[in-house]
Amino acid sequence: MKYNAYLKEDNYVLALNELQETSVNAKFPLKQILHSITAESYWNYYQQNQWKINQRTHSSDFKNDDISTWDLKTIANKTTKEYLLSLSSRDSLQQTNITDFKTIINYSKFSEELQPTLYDFLGGRAISFFNNTQYNLTKPADFFQVNNEDYFSSIKHFSKTNISSTDTLSSLFQAILVYQELERFHLKKKNYNSAVHYAIKRLDFVKNNSSNPLKNDLYLKGLVALINDFPKETENAITWSKIAEWHNKKGNEFNVETGANQFERKKALEICDRTMADFPNSYGADKCKALKISILQKQMSFDLENMHRPNAPIKMIFEHKNVSSVYFKIIKVDWDFTHNRYDIIDGLNKLEPIKSWDIQLEDNKDYQTHLSNLKIESLPFGRYFVIAGTSSDFKVSKKCNSLRQFLGYQYELFLPEYR
């Protein structure tokens, strides 16, 4: 099929028809594998020709055995049906070890541990289509939605949930059914790490596609249920990392006036530290490490009006995160002074400041961004640069440059002659 993709459209259509005919006559498990390949090929054909197919309607020119006459709805439905056929003979697929197909399937050791059967492999391929595809199709009046709170529940509860819909070709409906069967299968086999693996994916899928107004809280509740039910499973390192991410995002809702959600990022940091200690060298620990770096990142900037009246105090709004000590200096320059914005700090550091001072800011370890109202004492008529930094030498290292406002934030200040 990869070769035929480079051929003319007629040859690709011919190859597709041959593939479908072969899959119909094949025996298990080749039959299921070919159905999965056929589904992928149908959708690849649409992606390569979507500019033409999107203008097509279901008309009298339609031919059931000629994909070149199909509209989007027909291709989507055919693709869905082929993926469902690839999951037929479910019990046999679940008893077939994926290692038997190492010569034709590119599978990592990590995937082999979490997805040990042919059903895992084919189910994963089907979910990738159902999960990521957005059809531009007219939805039925009773279209399927993932708003049921049971879809956010624990593995044990979810595996027993009755999921039904008249919208049987809905990608959301088919995805949630496959997730349920995968979790149920691994729960029954006591492959708890695999069950947790799929439950995490299911919770992400439901949250991303649900319009339930409580979905964020239900998502957290579902993650916590995984931790409580399977505390020793290593895959829960990812669960912990997602819980930490949840609290970090909740910290974005910090209300300065009420103090609500002020210490959510502190909770996230504590979870990250615990996860890295309990699950070293895991993917979840790596995600926590990256999140921790983000939470601890130092930031600062300040703002003041460009034009000021000479010999009058100048108000400054100083924004800071994870900064407790700040150093300032003011440098007076000639009116014709020019500078390169890429090395302005290094250039100004070579000049003698006319004023320098430092302040101590309250750092209550909430890892939030705060605003402070500061002021600069009066200055006479002239042109100045104000530099703020977290170090008294105001040196800008490569690391600090990457953080932009961590060290050496400068602001150009003009004080024209006042009349």
**What's the predicted TM-score (pTM) here?**
0.88
pLDDT at 393 (0 to 100):
83
What is the average per-residue pLDDT within 383-387? 86
The Cα–Cα gap between 276 and 189 comes to 29
Task: Write the CB contacts of 325 (distance below 8 Å, at least 6 apart in sequence).
Answer: 358, 359, 360, 361, 390
Regarding the domain with residue range 299-415, which homologous superfamily does it belong to in the CATH classification? Immunoglobulins (2.60.40.10)
Q: Say if residues 137 and 72 touch (Cβ distance below 8 Å).
A: yes
Render pLDDT for 52-84 as a digit per residue (tens, 0 to 9): 888 877 665 788 778 888 888 899 999 999 999
**Between the CA of residue 58 and those of 13, 53, 63, 97, what are the distances in Å?**
18, 11, 10, 42
Tell me: cis bond preceding 29? Omega within 30 of 0 counts.
Answer: yes
CA triple 308-309-311, angle to 5 deg: 120
In the sheet that 369-376 helps form, which strands lie side by side, from edge to edge? 299-303, 314-321, 369-376
Residue 2 has pLDDT above 70, yes or no: no
Residue 257 tokens, joined: 């006036």
pLDDT at 60 (0 to 100):
56
pLDDT at 4 (0 to 100):
45
Q: Say if residues 418 and 381 touch (Cβ distance below 8 Å).
A: yes
pLDDT at 182 (0 to 100):
98
The Cα–Cα gap between 284 and 48 comes to 36
Render pLDDT for 109-166 as a digit per residue (tens, 0 to 9): 667 899 999 999 999 999 999 987 666 566 788 899 999 999 999 999 999 999 999 9
Name the more confident of 400 and 91. Answer: 91
Residue 45 tokens, joined: 């054909």
The Cα–Cα gap between 311 and 325 comes to 27
What is the average per-residue pLDDT within 32-47? 94
pLDDT at 409 (0 to 100):
47
Residue 302 has pLDDT above 90, yes or no: no
Three-state DSSP at 262 gives coil
Residue 414 has pLDDT above 90, yes or no: no
The Cα–Cα gap between 51 and 122 comes to 29
pLDDT at 410 (0 to 100):
54
What is the average per-residue pLDDT within 309-320? 87
What is the average per-residue pLDDT within 305-317? 81
The Cα–Cα gap between 254 and 371 comes to 13
Name the more confident of 180 and 347. Answer: 180
Pick the closest to residue 89 from 150, 28, 178, 9 (CA basis). 28
Q: How confident is the model at residue 388 (pLDDT cuts 50, 70, 90)?
A: confident
DSSP letter string, 151-215: GGS-HHHHHT-----S-TT-HHHHHHHHHHHHHHHHHHTT-HHHHHHHHHHHHHHHHHH---TTH
Task: Write the CB contacts of 296 (distance below 8 Å, at least 6 apart in sequence).
Answer: 269, 322, 367
Pick the closest to residue 126 from 165, 177, 167 (CA basis). 177
For the chain, counts of helices (H) and of strands (E): 15, 7
pLDDT at 349 (0 to 100):
86
Render pLDDT for 154-167 as a digit per residue (tens, 0 to 9): 999 999 999 999 99
Instruction: Spell out the domain ranges in the chain.
Output: 4-296, 299-415
What is the average per-residue pLDDT within 189-195? 97
What is the average per-residue pLDDT within 250-267? 97
Residue 20 has pLDDT above 50, yes or no: yes
Element (H, E) at 92: helix 90-94
Residue 237 has pLDDT above 80, yes or no: yes
Residue 315 has pLDDT above 80, yes or no: yes
- Percentage of the chain surpassing pLDDT 70? 89
pLDDT at 407 (0 to 100):
32
Q: How confident is the model at residue 412 (pLDDT cuts 50, 70, 90)?
A: low
Pick the closest to residue 34 from 47, 15, 52, 49 (CA basis). 15
Residue 102 has pLDDT above 80, yes or no: yes
User: Which residue in the block uniquely carries the two structure tokens 């601890």?
Assistant: 296
Average pLDDT, the chain: 87
- Residue 99 burial (CB count, 10 A): 11
Pick the closest to residue 12 from 59, 36, 45 (CA basis). 45
Name the more confident of 65 and 294. Answer: 294
What is the average per-residue pLDDT within 210-237? 97
